[in-house]
């Protein structure tokens, strides 16, 4: 199998027939052995019936239907598990991503990238979504050091090894490039066509902004400090501890000089900083114990074995 195309779909019954038509139109000429995997994420409309009917017309179609709505990340994750292709493409079901870009993404992979992310350069979404998303992408690019413009584009291409080694759960699909890069894979980007949503509505409300922020913390934490939690907690703890200690030493000196210090706000701040500092260090040590006991099950990302 050369290529697997994975499509998460939650209540997208109007879009799916056109989507499959358009995928066939742009992939058939490439002469590849390919499969289309649609993950019906617990749709409550006729998505599943539509897919059953489409299977008659498109034998390459495979469908996995969740009993309930789990979310885009779990849908992608299950798709990654069953994908058989040497290359994997993901795209949204709502016709906002254009299958005409599939050959371009595959060509970019051949340049030596392990994953290529689409960049919705000319985006057709409401401003209320585009502006927060710009800020989000800017912050994530800076913090992760990955120089791409669009982390959360549904249209992406991967080499098989990549999708078999990342864990996309919760709502971490927004951070896939970070998860991929962290395993040591090369991440690239190309601008892709983007269309306005024609049918149905967006499946993510305002909650996406808050969740996105918390998930950013999670991902930073999991990628950088998962196996070395004391590096972050110990660092913060020491800073807090020494500032607190400095404050109290200064007050001690005042006390010897004959001033009262028991009523000074600074006195309490110093104590607080020392306690927080010690707590953080203890917390970091505890986290180290947890990570040490999990270490047996850590999977290192192996590029090649020569025997
Ligand atoms: N999706 C899904 N499960 C969900 C939410 C969304 O499978 O719980 C799918 C949805 O059907 C679409 C893709 O994820 O194919 C992107 O969703 P949407 O277009 O609503 O996101 P937006 O373009 O507004 O960011
Ligand atoms: Mg969409």
pLDDT digits (tens, 9 = 90+) for 223-270: 889 889 999 999 999 999 999 999 999 999 999 999 999 899 999 999
Kindly state whether residue 179 falls inside one of the protein's structural domains. Answer: yes
- Verify that 120 and 220 share a domain, yes or no: yes
Q: Which of 92, 127, 195, 199 to mutate for ligand 1's pocket (most ligand atoms within 8 Å of CB)?
A: 92
User: What is the structure's pLDDT at 298?
Assistant: 82
Binning pLDDT at 50, 70 and 90, where does residue 209 land?
confident
Please say which residue of 225, 247, 279 terminates a domain. Answer: 225
| Residue 182 confidence (pLDDT) above 90 | yes
How does the average pLDDT of the chain come out, rounded?
Answer: 95
Kindly state whether residue 307 falls inside one of the protein's structural domains. Answer: no
Ligand 1 site residues (CB inside 6 A) read 8-10, 12, 41, 69, 71-72, 75, 92-94, 96, 154, 202-204
- Verify that 91 and 132 share a domain, yes or no: yes
**What percent of the chain has a predicted confidence (pLDDT) above 90?**
89
- Verify that 235 and 121 share a domain, yes or no: no
Determine contact, residues 93/191, Cβ cutoff 8 Å: no
Per-residue model confidence as pLDDT tens digits over 279-289: 999 999 999 99
| Residue 24 confidence (pLDDT) above 90 | yes
Binning pLDDT at 50, 70 and 90, where does residue 93 land?
very high
Lowest mean pLDDT of 82-86, 208-212, 276-280, name the range: 208-212
Binning pLDDT at 50, 70 and 90, where does residue 205 land?
confident
Q: Which of 129, 203, 207 to mutate for ligand 1's pocket (most ligand atoms within 8 Å of CB)?
A: 203
Distance 108 CA to ligand 1 centre (A): 25
Kindly state whether residue 306 falls inside one of the protein's structural domains. Answer: no
- Verify that 125 and 170 share a domain, yes or no: yes
- Verify that 239 and 198 share a domain, yes or no: no
Please say which residue of 207, 225, 243 terminates a domain. Answer: 225
For residue 246, what are the domain limits? 229-297
Binning pLDDT at 50, 70 and 90, where does residue 155 land?
very high
Per-residue model confidence as pLDDT tens digits over 210-231: 898 999 999 998 888 988 999 9
Give the distance from CA 294 to its chain's centroid.
23
Residue 300, phi then psi, degrees to nearest 5: -85, 150
User: What is the structure's pLDDT at 265?
Assistant: 95
- Verify that 196 and 234 share a domain, yes or no: no
CATH number of the domain residue 161 falls in:
3.90.550.10
User: What is the structure's pLDDT at 297?
Assistant: 83
Q: What is the pTM of this model?
A: 0.91
Kindly state whether residue 156 falls inside one of the protein's structural domains. Answer: yes
Distance 209 CA to ligand 1 centre (A): 15
Cα 184 from Cα 217, distance rounded (Å): 20
User: What is the structure's pLDDT at 21?
Assistant: 97
- Verify that 147 and 239 share a domain, yes or no: no
Counting the structural domains of the chain, the total is 2
**Mean pLDDT confidence for 2-11:** 98
Q: Which of 14, 19, 72 to mutate for ligand 1's pocket (most ligand atoms within 8 Å of CB)?
A: 72
Indicate which atom in ligand 1 lies nearest the CA of residue 201: 20
- Verify that 217 and 251 share a domain, yes or no: no
User: What is the structure's pLDDT at 224?
Assistant: 87
Please say which residue of 198, 225, 252 terminates a domain. Answer: 225
User: What is the structure's pLDDT at 226?
Assistant: 87
Kindly state whether residue 305 falls inside one of the protein's structural domains. Answer: no
Binning pLDDT at 50, 70 and 90, where does residue 80 land?
very high
| Residue 299 confidence (pLDDT) above 90 | no
- Verify that 277 and 208 share a domain, yes or no: no
Cα 227 from Cα 243, distance rounded (Å): 27
Kindly state whether residue 144 falls inside one of the protein's structural domains. Answer: yes
- Verify that 18 and 87 share a domain, yes or no: yes
Kindly state whether residue 261 falls inside one of the protein's structural domains. Answer: yes
- Verify that 209 and 263 share a domain, yes or no: no
- Verify that 164 and 274 share a domain, yes or no: no
Lowest mean pLDDT of 109-113, 123-127, 250-254, name the range: 123-127
User: What is the structure's pLDDT at 300?
Assistant: 87
Kindly state whether residue 304 falls inside one of the protein's structural domains. Answer: no
Binning pLDDT at 50, 70 and 90, where does residue 206 land?
confident
């Amino acid at each position: 199998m050369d290529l697997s195309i994975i499509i998460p779909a939650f209540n997208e019954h109007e879009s799916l027939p056109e989507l499959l038509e358009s995928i066939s139109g742009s992939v058939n000429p490439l002469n590849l052995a390919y499969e289309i995997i649609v993950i019906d994420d617990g749709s409550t409309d006729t998505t599943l019936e539509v897919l059953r009917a489409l299977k008659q017309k498109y034998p390459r179609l495979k469908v996995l239907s969740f009993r309930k709505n789990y979310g885009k990340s779990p849908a992608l994750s299950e798709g990654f598990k069953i994908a058989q292709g040497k290359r994997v493409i993901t795209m949204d079901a709502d016709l906002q991503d254009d299958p005409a870009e599939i050959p371009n993404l595959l060509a970019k992979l051949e340049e030596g990238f392990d994953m290529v992310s689409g960049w919705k350069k000319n985006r057709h979404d409401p401003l209320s979504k585009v502006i927060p998303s710009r800020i989000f992408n800017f912050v994530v690019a800076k913090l992760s050091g990955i120089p791409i413009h669009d982390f959360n584009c549904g249209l992406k291409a991967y080499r098989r090894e990549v999708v078999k080694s990342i864990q996309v759960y919760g709502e971490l699909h927004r951070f896939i490039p970070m998860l991929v890069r962290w395993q040591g894979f090369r991440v690239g980007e190309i601008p892709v066509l983007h269309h306005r949503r024609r049918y149905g509505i967006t499946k993510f409300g305002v909650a996406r902004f808050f969740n996105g922020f918390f998930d950013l913390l999670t991902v930073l934490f999991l990628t950088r400090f998962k196996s070395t939690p004391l590096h972050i907690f110990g660092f913060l703890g020491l800073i807090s501890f020494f500032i607190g200690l400095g404050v109290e030493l200064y007050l001690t000196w005042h006390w010897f000089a004959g001033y009262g210090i028991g009523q000074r706000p600074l006195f309490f701040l110093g104590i607080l900083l020392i306690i927080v500092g010690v707590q953080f260090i203890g917390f970091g040590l505890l986290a180290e114990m947890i990570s040490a006991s999990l270490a047996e099950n850590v999977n290192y990302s192996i590029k090649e074995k020569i025997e």
